[in-house]
Amino acid sequence: MRILVIEDDEAIRTGVVDTLESEGYETEECDNGLDGALAGVRGGVDLVLLDLVLPGKPGFDVLEEIRGARPTLPVICLTARGEEDDRVRGLKLGADDYVVKPFSARELLARVEAVLRRTAERPSDVRTLELDGRMVDFARHEVRFEDGRRSELSARELELLRYLVANPGRAIDREELLKNVWRVDPRGVETRTIDMHVARLREKIGDDAHQPKVVLTVRGKGYMFGS
């Protein structure tokens, strides 16, 4: 596993890198937001440890850029900020976990291992998807049709489609989608939101709602990729 550490404080960054490497992880380092965003979007890493107070580009902007380009890449925020509003904002932008400084090496490693376990079922990055008469471009967040029309997809719609594509021929229930796409505990959560996202996704990619060929409904089970 290769972990990207985006942290401007040299002492903290060195300590984090030494801790990770002592446990057998490979590491890559960045000391500013601009380089960190580029490294995260470029790929080649399995997890990002991201400080939220960075020179060059704020950590929240880095998180949003990475999440937009690589929806399945796990990100743990490292910050001295302990306020609830900052934690909530980071999680809403797609962070998988949040570690408040100062933290111990033991706590950091435990959180890294937990996030990697949770994300093991996430699909690998899919860049493009060719469908009948249209192309889904995950990097550009859009669907391009043969007649020149374009339809913009949200990050959540892309990640939903990506997850279905990565599990061809398997009916995926709503609880699994909530856990691995929405990254929330499915217990007690209204699953209607998934049906609404599927409806919007079908509309945007030109999949007939009454006779879909791409996102299939498996009655009593969930949804499945059908093309």
21 falls in which pLDDT band (50, 70, 90)? Answer: very high
* 139-151 confidence digits (pLDDT tens): 788 999 999 999 9
8 falls in which pLDDT band (50, 70, 90)? Answer: very high
Give me the CATH number covering residue 105: 3.40.50.2300
CA atoms within a 13 Å half-sphere pointing along the CA-CB vector of 170: 11
pLDDT of residue 213: 92
Q: Where a domain ends, among 102, 121, 140?
A: 121
Clarify whether residues 145 and 204 are in a common domain.
yes
**CB under 8 Å to 96, separation ≥6 — which residues?**
74, 75, 76, 115, 118, 119, 183
Taking the C-alpha atoms of residue 62 and residue 79, their distance in angstroms, rounded to an integer, is 14
44 falls in which pLDDT band (50, 70, 90)? Answer: confident
Least confident of 4-18, 24-38, 42-56: 42-56
Clarify whether residues 108 and 133 are in a common domain.
no
Clarify whether residues 106 and 139 are in a common domain.
no
Clarify whether residues 40 and 93 are in a common domain.
yes
Taking the C-alpha atoms of residue 148 and residue 129, their distance in angstroms, rounded to an integer, is 17
- The total of structural domains in the chain comes to 2
The domain in which residue 110 lies consists of: 2-121
Clarify whether residues 83 and 182 are in a common domain.
no
Give percent of the chain above pLDDT 90.
Answer: 47
Mean pLDDT, the chain, rounded, equals: 87
